[in-house]
Amino acid sequence: MKLVGEFLARFKRLEPPNDTVKTALARAIKDVLGVSYTKNQISVSNGVAYIRASSVAKNAIRVHRSDIMEHLYERLPKARDSVRDLR
């Protein structure tokens, strides 16, 4: 007979869906830089979040990358597994 803890252990490994990560990342960018992005302007692929924006905005994001990532990980700790870099 299996214990309840063994049954629930598989739910610890679940990652948030990309939609949740995109929304949290857009919120983190807004909180850090004050610039609004929609989740349609953000795509996540192979651990990298790509943001469609102007070159000036991308440069600001690149400069404040560590602050944005820290804010994202505070809001959504499981995002650490799915987003490792911003571009």
Predicted pLDDT at 14: 64
pLDDT confidence tier of residue 78, bands split at 50, 70 and 90: confident
pLDDT confidence tier of residue 3, bands split at 50, 70 and 90: confident
**pLDDT surpasses 70 at 15:** no
pLDDT confidence tier of residue 73, bands split at 50, 70 and 90: very high
Residue 52 neighbours by CB under 8 Å, 6+ apart: 41, 42, 43
